[in-house]
Structure 1
Amino acid sequence: MSHSPTAEAEVAAELRALRPGLLPRYDAELPGARAAVLTRLWRGLAHEPLPWITGRARGAYGLELRLADGRTLRGPHADPYATHAYVTAVHLERRRYDDPARLTAELAAGAGVGPEAERFAAELGHSVAGLALSRAAADHPDEWPVGVSAGRERDWEWEQRVVDGHPFHPNCRSRPGFSVADQLAYAPEHRSAVRLGTLPVPADECLVTGEWPDELRDGERLLVPVHPWQAGHVLKRPYDEWRTARPLMSLRTLAVPGGLHVKTALSARLTSSVRDISPYSVEAAAVLSDFAAELAAHTSGLLDVTRTLGAVTAGIPDLAALLRESPAGYAGPGERVLPVAALATTRLPRDPEWLAAFTRLALTVGLRLLDLGVALEAHGQNLLIVLAADGSPLRLVYRDLADIRISPARLARHGIAPPALAGRLVTDDETALRRKLFGSLVAGALASVAGSGPALGAALAAAVPDLADTSDLTVLRRGPVPAKALTLMRLSPGTPGDRWTALPHPHVLEPGTVDQ
């Protein structure tokens, strides 16, 4: 059948004008990109509490979804932890769909999905086109030789190898407001160099926490680092050029020479959210940084947390910045640090013993902190691993404390004074704490590295007997595993906060099947 002509053709037309030599590769990558996004969408349809799906059942050849309008959607058995593009097509009644945007548009027309479905369909079309563009420009190997270490000044290279974006989000490469030229200029997978700028703001109009460097001061004014896209599209103000930087996985966080990472405000929707920096995040930054350093001391040397050196906001989320340490500074001689998301692009973690060792390390740290009273958002972007020269996992590094959860009651039980914070980061809700950790770490980082439910189940089975017995581990053993309902969230923009679903425990999965 036909595909999403608007997004795919728009990108092709822009490529023809900007990079005509890339166009054949882009065209060749489109079928794989459609399958990759369709696989992510199928995960949501199969496992999330979407109100217009009234039933799920095993069929003769796969999974059957009963829709509120009486139609049936059929596809393969759904492994919620799989990262390879195993869904090449699904059937709505007798009609075959291999394009996630076309499928979503058809569902919106008859299944009572809601008005947001048409917008979501358009985003999926752009996700397919953006993913094909990312893959077309990629020339990274899928395996790194053991023994090769990355210096601090080149830590961004590990980040730029992550071509496909979020491993489970259908909008993995949807960047509304970004033209092809913008993506080529600013996206990490295109190995771009970005000239960061600064905007001067009177110091008495700014909120500053931590130490703001002299380099970013001009008399009574503070110089706030600004992304050129933000300056041109949102702030619409001229800026002074500052430093050449390399974008990291999050696109709006960039590495500048010397080991500094700069998180800028970038008011564009990337996957699910508009990525600004709230005054609350700036106000909490220094307190969180000091608290995290204290907490890491309780992990027997298995975890370091990058420090936030300084944070500033000019009173609006559209103009703010955070300065952070590079995680590479926590590598010893012969060691290297790379984001966990980058592991999924190599063949190294497919070894079951390696995967079990990594799973044991990650759960030891995550569960220890959760028991103390802090739930990390330990997905593959925030969580980094320190590898020995032979590739074995040694320690973890965590960055970006903006969305952790802190339990004063749990901290008090361990004699730890809670940080002087209020607001969304603070909760004693057991379910919220466990969702935060298990949804990001087990259903996110560990699943993305394992690549499938059975592989993840085997790694958990090998690691869990060695873990300290806590009430949180008991809940994890019992299952199911919480995960953000990413598709439901995009179809419910009027509902604030995260929405959740429950995934079958990977112990119950077999290759090619899933219990419903």
Structure 2
Amino acid sequence: MDRVHLNPPPAADVAERADAHSVAPLLNCLLREIAEPHRPPEGERRVYRLRGSGRLLRVLGERRPAEPEVRRDGAWQRIGHAELVKLVADELRRHTGSPNHELPAEILDSRDALAALLTARARATPPDDPYLRSEQSLLTGHPYHPAPKARGGGPVATWLPYAPEAHARFPLTLLGLREDAVVEEGDTSALDALGEAPPGYRLLPAHPWQLDLVGPALADAFADGRLLRLGTTDFDAWPTAAIRTLYAPARDLFLKFSLDVRITNDIRRLWRHDLLKLRRTDSLTATALAALDGPAAWLADRGYRTADFAFEELAVLVRDGLRDSVLPGATPLLAAGLVEGFEGSPLHGARDPAAWWRAYLAQVVPPALAAFADHGVVLEAHLQNVLVAVDTDGLPVQALFRDAEGVKLLPDVSRAAGWERLVYCLVVNHLVEIAGALAEHHPGLDPWPAVRRELARHGLPEIPALLASPTLPGKTNLLLRWTGADGADARYLPLPNPLLRA
């Protein structure tokens, strides 16, 4: 990563900002999952009763709560991040009846990682490309996860060189994989163009961080010649918001790797069961998006290559690049980046925010609904899996969807379960967040009547019930992590539905 500032930010400033950025998502989880509104707001502060202990907690603001205070001895007392972590752990023990020593450490690791990212980011040069800036903008990350920036608890030096939030870029490690050990499916020809393998070998790129993590387990393969080290690529790849998915602009290529680190709810491996169903899922999703009457596009996961002796550890997935998918003259941007904010974001600078929002909805909503209605494809249309391309005026003109690993198919899941997942990903995780950011930057705009009108245009039988429901499904990431549930085992609780109010 390029360094441009000689003087790091003051440690006290970094600590204060890291605490503030870490308090907000932890409070969001606590208030969503194990608290309830207690009485009318006290000015700008909202008061909640915690279900585990009955304690009263009040916070400043609603969308990104701050400055938590606990009621003690008849007075409100401010608590910092470390004390909030202890309070959350105590509430969860009381609420669930179960202990968990891992999650508090993970939450503290997330806060410390954020401090390291703040320091590194102040010294780094952001990419010139607005698309890459949007991918690398997620300093705070998932607003409803208790530890959105945790990096597995490892030393900072092991992961910081690969952190998108620190504007990292780096070459890929190239391995030679003996031909009799190759396992692959789909179109992996782009991998063979990354360098030159000796006779009897195929190229296998590796994420250098992953290779550091699993390297000791591969010692025998390097010793007996199943694997060779062939150096690095002659170009850099940029980590995207997903961290383990890298974009190589010089080759217009996305590569997704295994990464044996817990990031949010999952150890981020390319799991065997997901890879074995990849072709079917990707093919059906590509067919669904291609059948639409409009510019929406699917960034296909073309295929994967790995080693038979390290199937998950060394797997690499090849994904379509941008040039053949994005409309001519348009600029793709990560939807999550629009919420987080970055230099040049069109959400901030929209001259007519209501028109901008209508254009956004017209690009994002119809493809997700049509894929479900006409093809039984449940896109994981959350903020990190959707790119929105804008024209030269910053107006949304196209949506691009990605990540076959997160797609669900009917009837592999029931229609009801698929619809609930789609509503969570598209409405709760995505539109609620974009709407909140837009209203924050453009006071006076009510974004929800436009969402209601856009949804009502579509003839799915589930739409009337969605518009009339008092609640929407909200994922319980805090309870999922506390109870040790599988990361893919989504559990939901009811949230107030802003569509009903609209």
Alignment of 1:79-98 (within 5 A): 79=62, 82=63, 85-91=64-70, 93-94=72-73, 96-98=77-79
Question: What corresponds to 2:226 in structure 1?
Answer: none
Unmatched 5+ stretches in structure 2? 223-228
**Deviation (angstroms), 1:396:** 0.7
Mapped partners of 1:90, 1:391: distance in 2: 41
Unaligned ranges ≥5, structure 1: 1-18, 409-425, 511-516
Q: Distance in 2 between matches of 1:71 and 1:368?
A: 45
Letter of the 1:327 counterpart: L
Q: Which residue of 2 aligns with 1:337?
A: 332
Q: CA deviation at 1:321?
A: 0.7
Paired residue for 2:59?
A: 76
Q: TM-score w.r.t. structure 2 length?
A: 0.81
Aligned counterparts of 1:139 and 1:472: Cα–Cα separation in 2: 47
Distance 1:105 1:282, change over 3 A: same
2:168 pairs, out of 174, 182, 192, with 192
Aligned to 1:267: 260
Give the letter aligned to residue 347 of structure 2.
P
1:350-499 equivalence runs, <5 A:
351-372=353-374, 373-408=376-411, 426-427=412-413, 429-451=414-436, 458-466=446-454, 467-479=457-469, 480-494=471-485, 497-499=489-491
Check the 8 A contact 1:293/1:305 in 2, yes or no. yes
**Given the superposition, is the C-alpha separation of residues 367 and 392 from structure 1 closer, same or farther in structure 2, using an over 3 Å criterion?**
same
1:369-414: per-residue Cα shift (whole Å, max 9, x none)? Answer: 1212111111111100111111111111111110111114xxxxxx
**CA distance 1:308–1:22, change in 2 (3 Å):** same
How far residue 494 of structure 1 moved from its aligned partner, in angstroms, is 4.3
| TM-superposed deviation, 1:278 | 1.2
Instruction: Evaluate the alpha carbon distance shift between residue 509 and residue 465 of structure 1 in structure 2; reply closer, same or farther with a 3 A threshold.
Output: closer
Equivalent position SS for 1:299 = coil
Greater mean alpha carbon deviation, residues 397-406 or residues 304-313: 304-313
Q: 1:57 to 1:106 in 2, by over 3 A?
A: closer
Q: Is the 8 A contact 2:347 2:438 kept in 1?
A: no
> Letter of the aligned partner of 1:348 in structure 2?
P
Number of matched residues?
456
Question: What is the CA-CA distance between 1:262 and the residue it aligns to?
Answer: 0.9
**Structure with larger RCO (C-alpha < 8 A, sep 6+):** 1
Flag the 1:436–1:328 CA change in 2: closer, same or farther, 3 A. farther
Return the TM-score normalized by structure 1.
Answer: 0.79
Q: Is the 8 A contact 1:339 1:381 kept in 2?
A: yes
Aligned residue in 1 for 2:225: none
Structure 2 residue identity aligned to 1:265: S
CA distance in 1, matches of 2:304, 2:207: 15
**Match status 1:251 vs 2:267:** no
- From 84, 107, 110, the equivalent of 1:127 is 110
Distance 1:77 1:188, change over 3 A: closer
1:411 corresponding residue in structure 2: none
Identity of aligned residues (%): 24
Equivalent residues of 1:39, 1:86 under 8 A apart: yes
- Secondary structure of the residue that 2:285 maps to in structure 1? helix
Q: Distance in 2 between matches of 1:321 and 1:225?
A: 7
Kindly tell me: are residues 452 and 156 of structure 1, through their superposed partners in 2, closer, same or farther at Cα, counting changes over 3 Å?
closer
Q: Which moved more, 1:29-38 or 1:452-461?
A: 452-461
Distance in 1 (CA, whole Å) between partners of 2:168 and 2:261 is 18
In 1, the alpha carbon distance for the partners of 2:381 and 2:497 equals 19
The one of 43, 48, 70 equivalent to 2:28 is 43
Q: Say what the alpha-carbon RMSD is for the aligned residues.
A: 3.2
Comparing 376-385 with 224-233, greater Cα deviation is found at 224-233
Cα 1:218–1:446 change in 2 (3 A) is: farther
Residues in 2 aligned to 1:355 and 1:335: alpha-carbon distance in whole angstroms:
17
Counterpart CA distance in 2 for 1:228 and 1:183 is 10
Shift in Å, 1:328: 4.4
